[in-house]
Structure 1
Amino acid sequence: MANDPLNLGENGEWAGMWWLPDAPEQQVPGVLRYNSNDGLSLTLFGAFEDRIMSSPSPGMTVFHEGSRTWDVIHGAAEQREITLLDCFPTNSRRTIGARVQTPDKQTLGAMTAVIGVHVSDENKPVFSAVEVSIEDLGHWGASSIFEAFLSAPDGRPDGSGTISVKPVPAQSVVVDGTKFTLGHRHTLPFFDQRRGGTVGRVRGTTFVRVDPVESCSIDDAKDFARLMQDLIAFATHRAAGVIWLRLKLADGTANSQSARGPWDRNVDVIYSPSKVGTHDAKAVEARRVFFTCDDLPFEKIIPRWCDVHERLQPALNMILGLRYAPAQYIENNLLTAVGAAEVFHRGLGIDEPPMPPEEFKPMREAMLKHVPKVHEARVKGSLRNDPTLRERLYALAARPDQAAMSALVPDVDRWAQRTTQARNDLAHEGQTPKHSFEELIAIVDVTTAVVILNLLHEVGLPAEQQRKIVQEHPQLRATARQADDLLRSPET
C-alpha cells in the first residue's frame, strides 16, 4: 500500500532536487538511493562545494587538505520533502578544463534520511509519536489479529474452515509520562491470482507506538527504537532487527498543515540500526524465547525494562554484543563476558567495601608513608577498597532464584575461581596457559548465562520461569552441561 512504512530491508530510490539549508535557491538535481548493505548514497548531477578553502588576503584563495561535510541537506523528491543528516562526500568529478563540458558529478553518503519533512538537525523536537516494528515483536507480544477455524465434524476434518481477522485491544502503559502501546495493523484481504491457483492474503504487523510526554527529535526516536529492539533481542535471545521506524509530526509544524489527508503526517526514517530487520524472515522458535507477554504482561515489563535499560545498559550492551557481533576469538569473548558480569554488578549499586572505610583509610596512609615519592601515585592507585572480581561473581550467583542458579552452575566456587584466574591471566600475562580451550568456552558461556539470569531476575521474571528456562532452553541447557562437565571440582 502507498501508505506503508518504508522497510529498512528493502531498496529505495528518490529522484529530485537537493540543496543546502542556507542556500535554498541553489538547487542541484540528483538521485538518492538506499539499500540495507551499503546505506544511503546521493548522486548529484552538479556539485556542492566540498573543498576546504580560506582567503588569507584579498584575491588569494588557499585550498586545504580534506573535504567539507554537511550536517543537513534538504531535498524534494517523489512529491515528498527529504532531509539528509550527517552527509559526507565520497566521490567528486569536476569537468573544469575538459574538452567536452558536462555537468559535474558528485556522490555523497548520509547517515540518516528523513522522508516527509525538512528539519534543521537531529535534535529538533518536532515529532509527537514514534512507531517502530521489530523482528519477532509479534511473537513476543503474544497476541494476534488472526483466528483460524477448521471444520471437523465427528472428529474428521472435512476440508472446510475459515481464517478471520479480529480487532485486538491495544495494550498500553505510561512510564514517566511517556505512553507505550503495543498495536496491530493489517492489510485489506486480497486474492493473488496465479496460473496454478489462487492465494488469499492478509498481512498483519505488530508494532510499538511511543507517545512521549513532550515532542521528540529524530535522535530521541532512535533511542526509543533501540530501547524496544534491545528488549526483543534479550527476550528472544537472538539479534532482533528494526524493520521500520515511522514518526508523526507534531501539530503546529509546517508540514502538518496539509489538506491532502492524515497520512501526510507520517515521516519515515531510514538509518542503520545495529541490525536491519527482514519482515519476511522466519520467526524465532518458541522454545528459544526466554519470555513473552504471556509470562510478563506488557504493562508490567515495559516499566521494568525502562528502568533496567537505563541502569544496566553498559552490561546489557556487552551481552547483546555477543548476539549481534560475536568475536571470532575466544579471548575477546572472555573479556566481554567477564567484563559484562563486573559491569553489571557495579551497575546494581550494591557495592560494599570489603573493609570499613574508617579502617581502610588510615591503613592506606600508613602504607604510603613507606613508599618513595616517585612511586606514590602508582601504589596509591592500586590500593582500592573495592570488591574483587571473584566476590562480584559470588554476589551475582546469589541474586536470581537459587534453584535455577544451582541447575545452571552446580559448583559456583569452581566457576568463580576459574573465571577469575582466566581473566587475570589474560589481562596481566597476555595468555591463559592454565585453561584448556574447551574450559575457556565454558567460562564464556556460563558467565554470559549468569548475567542473563540476573537480567531476567531484574525484570521480574518469576522463579518458576527462571527454572524452566535453565531446564528447557536449548542453549542454557547446553551451558548447564558445560558447567557440570568442565567447571566442577573433582571432589564434588
Structure 2
Amino acid sequence: MNAKSFRGHWWLPGLSDDVAPGQLVVDESGRCALELVGSLDLCAGAALEHPGDPDAKAIRQERVRVIHGQVRGRPVTLLNCFAGDADGLSHRARSRIDIRVQDALIGAHVEHDEPAFSSAIVELENLTGWLGTEGQIDRQSNAEGESAALTRPDDLKAEIDGWTITARRILQPFHSEVSHAKASVSSHVAAYLVVRAPGPRPARDYHAIILEFMDLLTLASGRPCGQITLTLIHRENQVLRERDGSNYEIDTRVEAFGGRIHTAEPQSAGPHDWDFRFRCVDLSFAQIVPAWMRLRRRTADACNVFFGLQYARPTYTEARLLLVAIVADALSAGLGGTSPLKERGSYRNRLRELAAIPDQQAVHSIMADIEMWVRDLLQARNSLAHTGNDDAERDIFELEWVTSSLLTLVLMAQLGMPADVQRRAASTVLKPPWS
C-alpha cells in the first residue's frame, strides 16, 4: 500500500474542548504515527489505562487507550497510543508531540474495546490462488483464433462458534490497452473474505480471527501471507437523504490500518498451483476453516512461534533450529488431549509420537531415518539451550528444514488432509532441496 496522511484535529474521549491539530501518517507497512502540533493532556481521566491504580503513573504517561479525531469531515479513532518525542515537560508547555498508534480506524468514533462492528471485509495475500480458479476460466483455441470466458463461482461459506466466514470472488470485465506496437486484452480474478460476527464485536476480535486465517494461508502456501486491506462494518448504518427528501441507509465502512509483523506485497508474484502444500480443493472450505481454527486455538503456543518464524525469520540458523525444537515440544503438549500423544513422556518420546501422526510414506519422503532425526534434534536442542553453540555432526540448516517440514505435515494431518495430499506435499515442496 502507498503511504497515506490525514490532517485534522484530535482530542481525548470526553474532552472535546481540548483539541490539538495534527497529522496522522500511515506508512507503506501500515504503521501509524500521530504528529500533534501542540499537545493533549495524556494523563487526563478519560485517557487512563488503569484509572483506579495509584501506581500506574508511568503507564498513564506512556499509553493512551483512545484518541479521537476529525479528518476531512470523517471521524477517526486511534487505539493504543504511545507517547514518544516531545519538546516540553508538561502538555501545556509543548508545541509538538509524536505518538505511535497501534490501530487507526478511519470512519467512526469508538471507545476502547467497544463492540461496535458487525462484520469485516478483508483481502489477504495468496487467498485467490489458494481458493483456485478451476471452473472460472474457460479458454478455447482453434484454427480460427482464441476465445476466453470468465465465470463467477458461488460463494464459499464456513461457520465456527457463531462466526460466518464467506469467500467471494470478483471478476474484472475484459478491457483493452493499445500501444504504438500492439493491442492487449486482459482481465483478472480476485478474492476477498467477509467475516461476520454473531453480534457486534470490537475491532480486536476481527484481528484475531483474520490472523488465524492468515496462518492457514501461510501453512498452505509455505510463505508468509499478510493482510492487504481491512474494512470494518459499523453496527450502525449511515442515513443519507435522497433528492426527494426521503432517507436511505448504507453501511458505515471503516478503514482499518495498523502495523503488522509481515507487510503484504500484493503486486509481487504469487505461488502457482503446484507450489501450494494444499489448496481449498483438497478439503471443502466448510470443513477446512473451522477445523483449522479449532486446531490453531488448541495449539496456540506452538503455532504462535511456528508462524512467527514464517513471518519474520531470525537471521541465524541456530536460533531458528532452537525455536522449531521448542515448537515441537509445544505442539506435542497442545495435541495431547485428542491425538495419539496420551502421556507427556520424555522429549525423545514426544518427538517419536509427533513423527507417527502424519502419513508415514510422507514422513519418509522428508527424512530417511526417524530415530536419527530424533537423536540429532535432541542433541542440537540441548547444546543450543545450554551453551548457545551447536556441536552436532549433522548440518543444522538441514535439521531445521526437516523439522519444520515434519511440523507442517503434523498440522496438515491434524487438519484432516488426506494421505495423498500429505504425500504430494512431502515429495515436492517439503522435502529438502538437496535430497
Alignment partner, residue 50 of structure 2 = none
CA RMSD of aligned residues (A): 2.9
Q: Secondary structure at the match of 1:432?
A: coil
Aligned pair 1:296/2:283, yes or no?
Answer: yes
Contact map agreement 2:66 2:81 (CA 8 A) in 1: yes
Alignment partner, residue 104 of structure 1 = 95
Cα distance in 2 for partners of 1:119, 1:194 equals: 49
Q: Secondary structure at the match of 1:33?
A: strand
Cα distance in 2 for partners of 1:329, 1:336 equals: 11
Aligned pair 1:92/2:86, yes or no?
Answer: yes
* Deviations 1:164-205 (CA, angstroms, capped at 9, x unpaired): 443321011222221111112355666667676666565543
Q: Which has the larger radius of gyration?
A: 1
Alignment partner, residue 410 of structure 1 = 368
Q: Secondary structure at the match of 1:213?
A: strand
Contact map agreement 2:402 2:432 (CA 8 A) in 1: no
Cα distance in 1 for partners of 2:389, 2:260 equals: 35
**Which amino acid in structure 1 is aligned with residue 147 of structure 2?**
G
Alignment partner, residue 48 of structure 2 = none
Alignment of 1:319-338 (within 5 A): 319-338=306-325
Q: 1:232 aligns with which of 197, 217, 232?
A: 217
Aligned pair 1:470/2:420, yes or no?
Answer: no
Cα distance in 2 for partners of 1:29, 1:132 equals: 31
Q: 1:34 aligns with which of 26, 38, 54?
A: 26
**Which amino acid in structure 2 is aligned with residue 346 of structure 1?**
A
Change (3 A) 1:289 1:38: closer
Q: Secondary structure at the match of 1:279?
A: coil
Alignment of 1:110-189 (within 5 A): 110-121=101-112, 123-143=113-133, 147=137, 149-153=139-143, 158=144, 160-162=146-148, 164-186=149-171
Q: 2:356 aligns with which of 390, 398, 403?
A: 398
Cα distance in 2 for partners of 1:131, 1:476 equals: 36
* Deviations 1:146-170 (CA, angstroms, capped at 9, x unpaired): 63535422xxxx55534x4433210
Change (3 A) 1:268 1:262: farther
Structure 2, gaps ≥5 residues long? 46-56, 243-247
Q: Secondary structure at the match of 2:270?
A: coil
How far the C-alpha of 1:388 sits from its partner, in A, is 0.8
Alignment partner, residue 488 of structure 1 = none
Q: Secondary structure at the match of 2:259?
A: coil
Cα distance in 2 for partners of 1:75, 1:31 equals: 10
How far the C-alpha of 1:413 sits from its partner, in A, is 1.2
Alignment of 1:352-363 (within 5 A): 352-353=342-343
Change (3 A) 1:165 1:286: closer
Change (3 A) 1:445 1:12: same
Structure 1, gaps ≥5 residues long? 1-8, 54-63, 354-385, 482-492
Change (3 A) 1:352 1:89: closer
Change (3 A) 1:264 1:128: closer
**Which amino acid in structure 2 is aligned with residue 333 of structure 1?**
R
Cα distance in 1 for partners of 2:365, 2:187 equals: 44
Alignment partner, residue 77 of structure 2 = 83
Cα distance in 2 for partners of 1:324, 1:106 equals: 32
Contact map agreement 1:95 1:104 (CA 8 A) in 2: no
Moved more, 29-38 or 183-192: 183-192
- How many residues are matched? 413
Cα distance in 1 for partners of 2:362, 2:124 equals: 30
Aligned pair 1:13/2:24, yes or no?
Answer: no
Contact map agreement 2:126 2:271 (CA 8 A) in 1: yes
**Which amino acid in structure 1 is aligned with residue 433 of structure 2?**
A
Alignment partner, residue 367 of structure 1 = none
Change (3 A) 1:203 1:115: farther
Alignment partner, residue 53 of structure 2 = none
Change (3 A) 1:224 1:144: farther
Alignment partner, residue 349 of structure 1 = 336
Cα distance in 1 for partners of 2:251, 2:198 equals: 22
How far the C-alpha of 1:349 sits from its partner, in A, is 1.6
Cα distance in 1 for partners of 2:30, 2:124 equals: 21
Cα distance in 1 for partners of 2:5, 2:178 equals: 29
Contact map agreement 2:165 2:193 (CA 8 A) in 1: yes
Change (3 A) 1:15 1:447: same
**Which amino acid in structure 1 is aligned with residue 95 of structure 2?**
D
Contact map agreement 1:17 1:76 (CA 8 A) in 2: yes
How far the C-alpha of 1:136 sits from its partner, in A, is 0.5
Contact map agreement 1:47 1:105 (CA 8 A) in 2: yes
Q: 2:207 aligns with which of 222, 225, 229?
A: 222
How far the C-alpha of 1:49 sits from its partner, in A, is 3.1
TM-score norm. by structure 2 comes to: 0.86
How far the C-alpha of 1:258 sits from its partner, in A, is 4.6
